[in-house]
Amino acid sequence: LAKTTQPISMDSYEGQEVNITCSHNNIATNDYITWYQQFPSQGPRFIIQGYKTKVTNEVASLFIPADRKSSTLSLPRVSLSDTAVYYCLVGDGAGLTGGGNKLTFGTGTQLKVEL
């Protein structure tokens, strides 16, 4: 499984754009990149997933360079409620390998948004 490296923490202010970068140098061809968000006392929640280039949904954007050795989660105009831990995961999919889908969470990035 590809190992991921993220900053331990980040601070921001309301209304700013936040970019969290994750390194995954040994990502495999079949691996997808998925980001989760976790609030205190809750289980993680899926944010976005991508394979290459750029993916955007109503919550965030995910930028993946051509070599796929890193990815950047972009949160536009953050608010206090975006204060959470953000996890970057890399893993393959059952549909591609037939071997199942096992995702490993790292320690994540603690984002703190202030007024």
Residue with tokens 């954007």, as numbered in its chain: 61
Partnered with residue 70 across adjacent β-strands are 23
CA nearest to 108, candidates 26, 47, 22, 31: 22
**Contacts with 42 (C-beta within 8 Å, 6 or more apart), sequence order:** none
Residues in 23-82 at the binding interface with other proteins, rule: CB under 8 A: 32, 34, 36, 41-46, 49
87 belongs to the binding site for other proteins (CB under 8 A): yes
10 belongs to the binding site for other proteins (CB under 8 A): no
Residues touching other proteins, count (CB under 8 A) = 26
106 belongs to the binding site for other proteins (CB under 8 A): yes
∠66-75-28 over CA atoms, to 5°?
30
Residue 85 C-beta: closest distance to other proteins, Å: 8
Q: Between residues 34 and 71, which has the closer beta carbon with respect to other proteins?
A: 34
In contact, 38 and 87? CB cutoff 8 Å? yes
Contact footprint for other proteins (CB under 8 A)? 32, 34, 36, 41-46, 49, 87, 91-96, 100-108
